[in-house]
Structures are given as C-alpha cells and as structure tokens.
Amino acid sequence: MKVRELMKTPVVTVSKKDTVARARNLMMREMVSRIVVVEGDAPIGMLTKRDLVRDLASYKMRNRELDSIMVLEVMRVPVKMIQEGASVEEAAKIMVGSNIRGLPVVDSSGGLVGIITKTDLTAYYRQSYGGRHAVDEIARKMSETPVVKKTHSFYRVVDAMEEYSVDRVIVEDGGKPIGIITETDLSFLRPYRGSEPFIKGITMKSEEPWPTRLYQLPTAESLMTVDPVVVEATEDAAEAARILLENGIGGMPVVNKEHKLVGMLTKFDFVKAIAREGSV
C-alpha cells in the first residue's frame, strides 16, 4: 500500500509566527496530537503535544503566558517528510529511525498534501497483520515501561515520559495498573500566569487565626485516568490494535492472567512491527 492511500487530509497547520496558545487550541478543537508548521504550502516544522509538555514544563517557559510564546520557539526542526508515492513500510521505517510519530506527506514539488501517523499505521496493522503476532511479541517489556506511584508528582511523570520517550505513563499499586496518564493530560493542564498555585485557608495557632497555604502540586493520582483499558499478553496483537482504535486511545497496560502489570502496548509498537516486517 502507498502512503497516499493511508494518509489523512486536510492537515491541521500553523505558521511559525502563530502563538502556542493558538496551536494548543487547534489541537483541542481538532483532536490531534501534532500540527504541521508551514511556510506557504511547504512543511518547515512540527509541533506535538509532547513538545508542549516538555517545553512548557521547562523553567525558561513556565512563567510565560501561552499567547506570548511563538510556535517558532518550540517547533521541531528540521521536519522529516515522505513522498506520497512511498510505501507504508518505508513510512514506518522513517518513523522508527527518527523516533517520531507522524510524517507530513508531500508531492513531487514539496507541497503538503497529507499526514501519516502512528494511528494510521495501527489501522494498517489491524487490517494486514491478523494472527501474525501475540501482544507480548511486540509490546514493551517492564524494563521499557514507565511506571509511577499515585503519590509521585507531576514533574516525575514528565521526567518518566522523557526518560522512556513515550506519550503515557502507567500508575501502579501492588503490581497492578490502576491508572494511566497521557501527554494530553499534561499538555492541557498548565494554568496561565497569574493563577495562584495554592489554596488559601485559615488555621488556629495558639488560639489565634493563622493564614495557611496548601500548595497544589499535582500528583499522579490527581492526573490519571482510573481503571485503564488493558490487554492480556497472549492476545492477538491485531485484536489489541482494534481495542486501541475503537477506544480512541494511544496505548494500554499489558497484564498477565493474574492482572499483574507485565508491560505496555502503544500505537508506536505497531509502527515498529511494520518496520521490522518490511525489512525481512
């Protein structure tokens, strides 16, 4: 199958002079994880939810309002692209080789005509690879899975995503998955400057009123989606792809028969599987 048969169009775009506030609002409205930055009709950069999580959590950016930050300050450059006539397997290889989750698709003159993402490749895997692999053959093992406790802070969650280069973190308790936190949960959390990061209150000290401040540092428990969708390690991977697509999620914990956490399966793992198969 050629990329042109699988790509999505039209593409959500911004210019490098647009603000991060506008890009963020576009992501929310269009329900996309990445936006192509264009000059004319040529792709010049990419902006993803992960970029927002990473950059807006940095000390340099966290005190600035989103409508004061330009896209050119946070976009990824140079941008990887693929020709519309290339094969789907070639797209998968580029994504894996560059550790990216989406590619702008261009025509012979370099103009933007579409985008192909890990979601498109997951759908391709479901259609073409039924019965080929069990989940545990392509999923991340525990050593590759970011796991936090429910009392870990927002910053530990961000660090775990960066450390493992993934878009979600599993919250576990007693060896079982109890929640999941995605880059969407983090990228749309940050308040604008001026909102107070604490709750004011009054307590009694030596029978006198005493002002207090309870700081609102978000914890994993306050950020997570509880009771996440899971898949058993022995399930057909194509069936797992169907579960991800039909639930509109990008990844899920992998468990054994006792519901103990043994890994994580994401859409990007299907991209990797396609790239490996295309190399055989």
- Residue matched to tokens 């054994």: 256
Q: How much is the pTM?
A: 0.83
Query: What pLDDT sits at residue 45?
Result: 97
- Residue matched to tokens 């428990």: 221
Token digits for 26? 């576009």
Contact 79, 44 (CB under 8 A): yes
Distance of CA 46 to the CA centre of its chain: 14
Query: What pLDDT sits at residue 188?
Result: 60
Give the domain 3-128 fold: CBS-domain (3.10.580)
Residues in the chain: 280
Query: Which residues make Cβ contacts (< 8 Å) with residue 206, sequence separation at least 6?
Result: none
Backbone φ and ψ for 98, nearest 5 degrees, come out as -105, 0
Give whole-number Cα distances, 237 to 31, 102, 126, 219, 244, in Å. Answer: 25, 21, 8, 32, 11
Query: What pLDDT sits at residue 78?
Result: 94
160 burial via Cβ count (<10 Å: 0-12, 13-18, 19+): buried
Query: What pLDDT sits at residue 79?
Result: 95
Query: Which residues make Cβ contacts (< 8 Å) with residue 279, sequence separation at least 6?
Result: 93
For the stretch 119-122, contacts whose Cβ atoms lie closer than 8 Å and that sit 24 or more positions apart, written own/partner, are: 119/245, 119/250, 119/267, 120/6, 120/7, 120/8, 121/6, 121/88, 121/91, 121/92, 121/95, 121/267, 121/270, 121/271, 121/274, 122/241, 122/244, 122/245, 122/267, 122/270, 122/271
Q: What is the mean pLDDT of each run of 10 residues along the chain (280 residues)?
A: 96 96 92 94 93 77 86 94 97 96 96 97 97 97 97 91 92 97 73 41 51 64 94 98 96 97 98 85
Please, what is the angle between helix 118-128 and helix 88-98, to 10°? Answer: 130
Query: What pLDDT sits at residue 208?
Result: 56
The strand pairing partners of 149, in sequence order, are none
Question: Coil, strand, or helix at residue 30?
Answer: helix
Kind of pairing between the strands at 147-148 and 168-173: parallel
Nearest-angstrom CA–CA distance, 227 and 89: 34
Going by C-alpha positions, the residue among 58, 52, 61 that lies closest to residue 32 is 52
Nearest-angstrom CA–CA distance, 157 and 119: 24
Contact 100, 75 (CB under 8 A): no
End-to-end, the C-alpha distance of the chain in Å comes to: 17
Kind of pairing between the strands at 251-255 and 231-232: parallel
State which H helix or E strand residue 89 sits in: helix 88-98
Query: What pLDDT sits at residue 118?
Result: 96
Contact 244, 252 (CB under 8 A): yes
